[in-house]
Homo-oligomer: A and B are copies of this chain.
């Protein structure tokens, strides 16, 4: 084990499954001796990436709040979420959640979100959440905005791991570019539908999308049109804000 990976292996444990770990449990999971682990954990605690929770176990520490805040306040794209999403969801005729998602490497992550008071949805579209790369309007709108070479590489890599109808996907992307938005139903959460538009800013290296998520049961043709209109106008506002 070497370099940052040494620390990241420990931190990763806290992302998945349990949010609190005893040293003993970590030692079994990572197959490392306690003495080595205690050293790594102590360093992470000193730098606030972990914190001790009393009953001889550990959890993620306040450093993540501090760094995340810095990211939030310094990243203009995340800021645009804070500026435009609240007023966007207020204009919706039905309860919705709005999510701004961005490509990082080969993964799409939600970087800002807002929801109407009535929208008691899942936390699937919440800042910090990773999206499935080939499913849902969100990721498809990101893919649609990508340079062809990069898009194909991502699709090929991802398709190797899951079973996806690439022909259908390509058709959806074509449709998205043509009409400016895409509606998908039940692809991520069976009860929900997404209406998404691309936000591509090649100069900043940002490939992203804006998605409105609503309960399928709330949707009518008229409402779908309204949401499509909202998502396109606001995607445009965000593009202008970033330029």
Q: Which residues of A contact B (CB under 8 A)?
A: 3-5, 7-8, 11, 14-15, 19, 40, 43-44, 46-49, 51-54, 59-62, 64-75, 102, 104-105, 109, 111, 123, 126-130, 203-205
Partner of A65, one of B43, B59, B68, B105: B68
For residue A68, which residues in chain B have a CB less than 8 angstroms away from its CB? 64-65, 67-68, 128
CB distance from A144 to the nearest CB of B (A): 21
Instruction: Check A128–B51 contact: CB distance below 8 A.
Output: no
| Closest CB pairs A-B (n = 5) | A69-B128, A19-B74, A68-B68, A65-B128, A4-B43
Q: Nearest CB to that of A202 among chain B residues?
A: B54
With the chains together, A3 CA to B49 CA distance in Å?
Answer: 14
How many chain copies does the complex carry? 2
Which single residue of chain B is at the shortest CB-CB distance from A12? B47
**A19-B74, A59-B75, A71-B60 known; A104 vs B48 contact (CB < 8 Å):** yes
Give min CB distance, A81 to chain B, whole Å: 12
Q: How far is the CB of A236 from chain B (nearest CB, A)?
A: 23
- Expressed in whole angstroms, the minimum distance between the Cβ of A60 and any Cβ of chain B is 5
With both chains docked as a complex, state the minimum distance between the C-beta of A92 and any C-beta of chain B, in angstroms: 17
CB pair B65–A71 under 8 Å, yes or no, is yes
Q: In the complex, what's the smallest C-beta–C-beta distance from A130 to chain B, in angstroms?
A: 7
* B47:A127 contact, CB within 8 angstroms: no
Complex CA distance for A129 and B147, rounded to whole angstroms: 38
Q: How far is the CA of A96 from the CA of B221 in the complex (A)?
A: 41
- Contact indicator B64/A67 (Cβ below 8 Å): yes
Contact A60 B67, CB 8 Å, known A7-B4, A43-B5? yes
Closest B residue, CB atoms, query A104 = B62
- Other-chain contact of A3, B43, B53, B61 (Cβ < 8 Å): B43
What's the nearest-Cβ distance from chain B to residue A111, in Å?
6
Q: Which residues of chain B are near A19, meaning CB under 8 Å?
A: 70, 74-75
CB of A222 to closest CB in B, whole Å = 29
Nearest Cβ in chain B — how far from A69, in angstroms? 3
